[in-house]
Amino acid sequence: MRTRLVGLLVLLLTAAALSVPQQPSLAAHKWQQLMLSRNGHHWKPDLRMPLFKRAVVLVPGQERRRTFYVRNQSESAARLGVTVRVTGSKGLIERPRFWMAVRIRHGRWQRISHTGRNKVAHVRVVKGRMVPVTVRVRLMPRALNRTMDDHFRFVTRVRLTSLKKR
Amino acid sequence: MSRKLAGAFRHLASARARAALSLGVVLAVGSTGTFAYWTDDVTVSGTAFTAGTLDLQVNDLNTVSAYTTLNLATMVPGNSMAGTLVIKNNGNVPLKYTGATAASNTDGKNLAGNLTARVTLGSAGGTSPAMTCGGTLVAGGATTTIGTLTTPKRQLAPNATETICVEVTLPAGAPSTVQAGKTDVTFTFTGTSDLS
């Protein structure tokens, strides 16, 4: 009876330890295998300048689109995650006649429809592969006056995660 | 039941149990360090998107309710009145505006149908009841009645202004049926962000 109880406790503790979400080890902080480019030719660890110009003013019928490129330069396949964080919106991002979306490669557009964190994609990228990420914003031609003078900010976060455990 | 619990705690206090629990902790720490994934993050700063503001004003107002410059109580054939209006783009995006008139005929004398109108880019000259508009003609003319006047689209940059002059004439050949007639004229200016 006593042996069983002890065995059960050991089993429970081990299972609990294994079920804790695995955090990257300290060594992983130096794993810089993600490179970015505006044109697919010149690569840097980040884009340095904002994706669009500092402040874009839109009127109905206007559209803005920018593409940047992400490359997996690690030694193996990895998973690419893209999220968009929207802040400061007074409601523009939620309006039906305002449309913001992100597309990975040539897949379908993932709409960014609310303030906060918007998960866009999680795709597998083979070693050395370049992936285009396109951000598109459009104010529909029939947008009403209530869309006037509203604004928001956004940042796009790309994360490359190795598929192999270290 | 309480006797069973007391027994369990006795077992936990034993040296073997403590050793086994320590092993669990070692396993937990070991597993955290062993099965990590490597990640690399980059944040791409976006920008601020703003829906523009479109605000068309006339004489620095959104509604001009007391524009009496064109009033003439005793108009006779051959008289004309002229007045200027300042059109302003008070927004932060370019706009195009048009102007249109509507005139009442509540007394049935059809004075509005006999008043001709023209709009120029310029200033008013002369004295009542013989005022005229100088400058380039934008819309209207000798046969355009006041109730059917429309100006073509004109573009204004943000914060830009444009002065237009409106001239209203009762032609020399106006019929006598318009005597003592009265009409109220409304000018409506509409701005749009559509620059096509």
What residues does each domain of chain A span?
56-166
- Residue B41 inside a domain? The answer is no
What mean pLDDT is predicted for residues A133-145?
A: 93
**A5 token code pair:** 């109880």
Residues present in chain A in total:
166
In eight-state DSSP terms, residue B146 is: G
Find the residue in A nearest to B44 (Cα): A156
B26 and B108 co-located in one domain: no
Residue B97 is part of a domain; what is its CATH number?
2.60.40
Written as six digits, the tokens of A47 are 């884009």
What's the whole-model pTM score? Answer: 0.71
Q: Are residues B75 and B148 in the same domain?
A: yes
Please tell me the predicted confidence (pLDDT) of residue A31: 62
Model confidence pLDDT, tens digit, residues A7-29:
666 656 665 555 554 444 444 44
Strands (E), A59-115: 63-72, 78-87, 98-104, 110-111
Q: What is the mean pLDDT of residues A63-84?
A: 93
ipTM greater than cut 0.90:
no
By the CB < 8 Å criterion, does A162 face chain B?
yes
Q: Is residue B16 part of a domain?
A: yes
C-beta of residue A33 within 8 angstroms of C-beta of residue A160: yes
Q: Is cis: bond before A132, omega within 30 of 0? A: no
B116 and B29 in a common domain: no
The reply to whether B97 falls in a domain is yes
User: Both B9 and B67 in a single domain?
Assistant: no
> What is the total count of domains within chain B?
2
| % chain B with pLDDT above 70 | 81
Six token digits for residue A28 = 């992983």
Residues B75 and B14 in one domain: no
Contacts of B3 in chain A (CB under 8 A): none
Residues of chain B with C-beta less than 8 angstroms from the C-beta of A63 = none
How far is Cα A112 from Cα A135, in angstroms, rounded to an integer? 10
Same domain, residue pair B12 and B71: no
Cα–Cα distance measured from residue B117 to residue B147, given in angstroms and rounded to the nearest whole number? 9
Percent of chain B beyond pLDDT 90?
Answer: 68
Task: Specify burial of residue B112 (Cβ count, 10 A radius: 0-12, 13-18, 19+).
Answer: buried
B48 assigned to some structural domain: no
pLDDT tens-place string over residues B11-43: 555 666 565 555 555 544 444 444 567 888 888
Residues B77 and B8 in one domain: no
Q: Are strands A55-58 and B37-51 parallel, antiparallel or unpaired?
A: parallel
The CATH number of domain A56-166 is 3.30.70: no
Smallest Cβ–Cβ distance between A60 and the set B17, B46, B193 belongs to: B193
Residue B90 shares a structural domain with residue B184:
yes
- Are residues B162 and B98 in contact, defined by beta-carbon separation less than 8 angstroms? no
Task: Tell me which residue range forms the domain holding B121.
Answer: 56-192
